[in-house]
A = this chain, B = another copy of it.
């Protein structure tokens, strides 16, 4: 039997925690003959490295930032391999390139292209527990790349796909709740959730799991277990819809506390112009959520989109490029917003949900602005000061 486990930064934050995980793995080895462990950087290591880079320059070279950030994971897996070998368990650590994790894309936001798992397979066959750095890989140019925040989840699921086995993501929370329990303590714990719901919730700020990881799990139908490191109870299975589904219309609420909504106006409407704006956003690596577009009577287009407040530095690159390209355009930023979303596979066939959602918000004095919907979710931007009130009202209304 074979398994991939992933430990997040808070789970490996201290030497003591690494030792405890090593003990756990040695126990688990009795049950699973082949174990691959993906680990993140210890605690706040990556933040510390980024801080160092920012001391050099506010806009560090992204290729170099990738090389710098990748050392955090290398530290964790080397220490974990030492802990295991010191306890008499054969083990060895591999960096992204040693593990054959090939990536492509923009530096600091690469995507895994494929995994050449021969070396991992060989070390597993030799009886090793194989420890792989999460969050990183190597691109075609032979440069070290990273997968963006939360990328270790993707590393783990991608390895589970390559190695054709189950995947467990260990973190510092018990699993998935219908609403973030820090915001809404009455939130319900979910034993199971479908890939689709989890993707929406992750996308919409639930924060427990990386969206791309869930997407990958869905694509190759790899069940993903999310649970608390070293805990023997709890945990949520992310799996196929028809199995996981309970007959609920709304499964969860997600919030993003700080978003910026950018409105670009006074640009002559043409598909080329709109396409150019979105490809500029893409080339800067900015992740955007809610997009709305209007065309006024003078054939000028007005485009609004939202992004995480933490990506403001990328947004600034975007607006600068757009100003350079469209000299007459006007750009307005609204930084005082958050986002609330409801998610549930039952929504598809229930048009009444949206109405119920909006009426709960307005009854509770929560104004909403941009609105976007997917088959299984509805999101809207609201004032930051109203987030807590909105979550509580929506949580009560949908019994989450």
Cross-chain contact of A68 among B57, B70, B75, B98 (Cβ < 8 A): B75
* B residues near A18, Cβ cutoff 8 Å: 56
Q: Could you tell me the distance between the alpha carbons of A63 and B79 in the complex, rounded to whole angstroms?
A: 11
Q: Are B67 and A86 in contact (CB under 8 A)?
A: no
Q: How far apart sit A63 and B90, CA to CA, in the bound complex (Å)?
A: 12
Interface residues of A in 59-112 (CB under 8 A from B): 59-61, 63-65, 67-68, 70-71, 74-75, 77-79, 81-83, 85-86, 92-93, 95, 97-98
A247 at the interface (CB under 8 A from B): no
B95 and A56 contacting across the interface, CB-CB below 8 Å: no
**Given B56, B82, B92, which contacts A82 in the complex, CB threshold below 8 Å?**
B56
Binary flags per residue of A36-63, CB closer than 8 Å to B gives 1, else 0: 0000000000000100110111011101
Q: Are A68 and B64 neighbours in the complex by a CB distance under 8 Å?
A: no
Given the known A-B contacts A64-B93, A144-B95, are A57 and B75 also in contact in the complex, defined by CB atoms under 8 Å?
no
- Asked whether A248 is an interface residue with its Cβ less than 8 Å from the other chain, the reply is no
Within 8 A of B (CB), among A8-24: 15, 18-19
Is A352 close to B, CB under 8 A? Answer: no
With contacts A56-B18, A92-B63, A142-B119 taken as known, whether A79 is within 8 angstroms of B83 at the C-beta atoms is no
Chain A, 140-155, CB within 8 A of any chain B CB: 142-144
Residue from A78, A79, A83, A93 with most neighbouring chain B CB atoms (10 Å): A78
CB distance from A209 to the nearest CB of B (A): 28
A86 to B59, CA, bound (A): 8
Quick check: A74 and B71 within 8 Å, CB to CB?
yes
Interface size class of A (residues with CB under 8 A): 35 or more
A86 touches B57 (CB 8 A): yes
CB-CB under 8 A from A78, the residues of chain B are: 53, 64-65, 67-68
Task: Determine chain A's interface SS by DSSP, over half rule.
Answer: helix
Report the nearest B residue to A81, measured CB to CB: B64
> Which chain B residues lie closer than 8 Å to A52 at the CB level?
15, 75, 79
Cα distance A52–B76 when bound, in Å? 10
Cβ contacts under 8 Å, A74 to chain B: 67-68, 70-71
Q: Are B67 and A95 in contact (CB under 8 A)?
A: yes
Interfacial chain B residues near A53, Cβ < 8 Å = 78-79, 82
* Residues 108-132 of A contacting B (Cβ, < 8 Å): 119
| A136 shortest CB reach to chain B, Å | 12
Q: Are A64 and B49 in contact (CB under 8 A)?
A: no
Q: Which chain B residue has the least Cβ–Cβ distance from A16?
A: B55
Q: How far, in whole Å, are A46 and B389 apart by their CA atoms in the complex?
A: 50
Q: Within the complex, which residue of B49, B57, B82 is in contact with A65, where a contact is CB–CB below 8 Å?
A: B82
> Once the chains are docked, how many angstroms separate the CA of A78 from the CA of B66?
9
| Cross-chain contact of A83 among B57, B92, B93 (Cβ < 8 A) | B57
Question: Of the candidates B15, B49, B56, B95, which one forms a contact with A19 in the assembled complex, judged by CB atoms under 8 Å apart?
Answer: B56
**14 A-B residue pairings within 8 Å (CB atoms):** A15-B55, A15-B56, A19-B56, A52-B79, A53-B79, A56-B86, A57-B86, A61-B85, A64-B78, A64-B93, A65-B78, A67-B77, A68-B75, A98-B143
Those 10 A-B pairs whose CB atoms lie nearest each other, nearest first: A57-B86, A68-B78, A71-B71, A61-B85, A67-B78, A64-B81, A60-B82, A64-B78, A15-B55, A56-B82
Given A57-B82, A61-B86, A68-B74, 17 other A-B contacts at CB below 8 A? Answer: A15-B52, A49-B75, A52-B79, A53-B79, A57-B83, A57-B86, A61-B85, A63-B81, A67-B78, A67-B93, A67-B95, A68-B78, A68-B79, A68-B82, A95-B144, A98-B142, A119-B142
